[in-house]
């Protein structure tokens, strides 16, 4: 959901990006801060007030990035790679390559963010005290930053997944029961309760014309939290299940094949468009020599489709990722996701016995989830 973000820079190998929805919150914050500072210091010129609002907003976003860096650095120290930190309309998010594998790791990663926010609140408070005799502007900015960082720290500690507090809660249940799945289930349940609570609060707040925007904001956040909680739970159980299902269990033995010398045009007209199969194993002298799929046709200009055999655009066998029947499908799925592969041939005792298909795996995993088996 955060693909369309633009890059600000890279820190500790982590890409820092901004999603386009962040622009909304940027302007909302500046305008509401402008009103706050205008009320408190009506003697300031409009320019000075606007500049103060802008500075406070920018320092707030730096605070959010530092909060996410807190999570990220602990994750890295515990052996989990962090791809990116992205700012978006509801705050920041650090995207890790995988979930924590122990309750302790989950706990320390989760708690690090709010601790950074508490530390920043303390730092800004000291700066405010220090600069108070010299600058009204600095006092106003640091005063607001102290409060907002406290709010961020406390709000994030609410024990509902996917908030930091929910992750802490998940780690505690995990630790006490020794069951990571239970931790996930409880944390998601509390996350939903929190989200519905926020939604009702948001509706009540939105009833007052003066606080309509704040109310809508809360409703938006609650909707977002609900969606992430559901998604994370589904992804978690899918992965968990995938660890127990083997490649052999989901191998499709009857796989579409095609002769290596068939032209691309014939393959499309006489096979693909009639059967709906986007990919085929390529056969020559009764041997599988590669795999060709719809995404390969860009390798050949359309005018040459009738004169080019499929073997020229296929991926040869030796360059294909191959699975064995006793591999767990979790690792195969991860590789498929990482490289955008949809089919992986399955080799048993040196012979290709079929393939596994990404969509097919996901369908089977969903059925496992639906039936609880
Ligand atoms: Zn956080």
Distance from residue 139's CA to the centre of ligand 1 (Å): 27
Tokens 């802490």 label which residue? 168
Distance from residue 48's CA to the centre of ligand 1 (Å): 32
Distance from residue 66's CA to the centre of ligand 1 (Å): 10
Q: Look at residue 231 and give its three-state secondary structure.
A: helix
pLDDT tens, residue by residue, 77-121: 998 888 888 888 777 888 887 778 889 999 999 999 999 999 999
Is pLDDT of 305 > 70?
Answer: yes
| Least trusted range by pLDDT, from 7-21, 71-85, 183-197, 249-263 | 7-21
Is pLDDT of 1 > 50?
Answer: no
Who wins on pLDDT, 331 or 110?
Answer: 110
Distance from residue 110's CA to the centre of ligand 1 (Å): 7
CA separation for the pair 104, 71 (Å, rounded): 13
CA separation for the pair 29, 187 (Å, rounded): 31
Residues 6+ apart with CB under 8 A from 342: 278, 279, 293, 336, 357, 358, 359
Tell me which residue of 73, 79, 95 sits closest to 12, measured CA to CA.
Answer: 73
Distance from residue 89's CA to the centre of ligand 1 (Å): 15
Span between the terminal Cα atoms of the chain, in Å: 30
Distance from residue 71's CA to the centre of ligand 1 (Å): 7
Distance from residue 272's CA to the centre of ligand 1 (Å): 48
Secondary-structure class of domain 247-371 per CATH:
alpha beta
Q: Look at residue 352 and give its three-state secondary structure.
A: strand
Residue 127's H or E segment, with its range, is: helix 103-131
pLDDT of 262: 93
CA separation for the pair 129, 118 (Å, rounded): 17
Residues 357-361, mean pLDDT to the nearest whole number: 85
pLDDT of 176: 92
Residues 3-10, mean pLDDT to the nearest whole number: 74
Distance from residue 156's CA to the centre of ligand 1 (Å): 6
* Global confidence as pTM: 0.68
Question: In what order do the strands lie in the sheet containing 5-11?
Answer: 5-11, 14-19, 82-88, 91-96
pLDDT tens, residue by residue, 212-265: 888 888 898 889 888 888 888 877 777 777 767 788 888 888 888 899 999 999
Distance from residue 3's CA to the centre of ligand 1 (Å): 20
Distance from residue 47's CA to the centre of ligand 1 (Å): 34
């Amino acid at each position: 959901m955060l693909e369309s973000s633009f890059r600000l820079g890279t820190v500790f190998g982590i890409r820092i990006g901004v999603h386009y929805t962040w622009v909304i919150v940027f302007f909302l914050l500046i305008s509401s801060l402008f009103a706050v500072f205008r009320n408190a210091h009506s003697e300031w010129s409009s320019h000075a007030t606007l500049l103060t609002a802008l500075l406070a907003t920018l320092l707030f976003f730096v605070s959010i990035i530092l909060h996410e860096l807190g999570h990220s650095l602990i994750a890295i120290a515990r052996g989990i790679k962090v791809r990116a930190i992205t700012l978006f309309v509801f705050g920041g998010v650090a995207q890790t390559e995988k979930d924590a594998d122990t309750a302790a790791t989950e706990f320390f990663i989760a708690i690090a963010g709010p601790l950074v926010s508490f530390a920043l609140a303390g730092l800004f408070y000291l700066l405010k005290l220090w600069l108070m005799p010299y600058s009204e502007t600095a006092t106003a900015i640091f005063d607001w930053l102290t409060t907002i960082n406290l709010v961020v720290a406390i709000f994030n500690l609410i024990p509902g997944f996917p908030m930091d507090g929910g992750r802490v809660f998940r780690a505690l249940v995990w630790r006490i029961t020794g069951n990571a799945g239970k931790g996930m289930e409880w944390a998601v349940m509390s996350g939903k309760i929190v989200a519905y609570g926020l939604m009702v609060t948001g509706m009540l707040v939105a009833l007052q014309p003066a606080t309509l925007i704040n109310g809508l904001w809360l409703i938006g956040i609650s909707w977002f939290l609900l969606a992430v909680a559901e998604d994370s739970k589904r992804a978690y159980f899918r992965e968990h299940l995938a660890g127990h299902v083997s490649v052999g269990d989901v191998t499709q033995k009857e796989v579409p094949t095609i002769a290596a010398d068939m032209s691309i045009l014939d393959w499309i007209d006489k096979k693909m468009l009639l059967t709906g199969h986007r990919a085929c194993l390529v056969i020559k002298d009764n041997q599988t020599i590669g795999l060709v799929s719809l995404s390969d046709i860009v390798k050949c200009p359309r005018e040459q489709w009738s004169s080019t055999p499929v073997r020229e655009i296929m991926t040869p066998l030796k360059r294909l990722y191959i699975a064995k029947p006793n591999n767990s499908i979790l690792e195969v799925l991860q590789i498929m996701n990482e490289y955008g592969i949809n089919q992986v041939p399955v080799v048993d005792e040196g012979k290709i016995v079929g393939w596994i298909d990404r969509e097919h795996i996901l369908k089977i995993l969903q059925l496992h989830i639906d039936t609880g088996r």
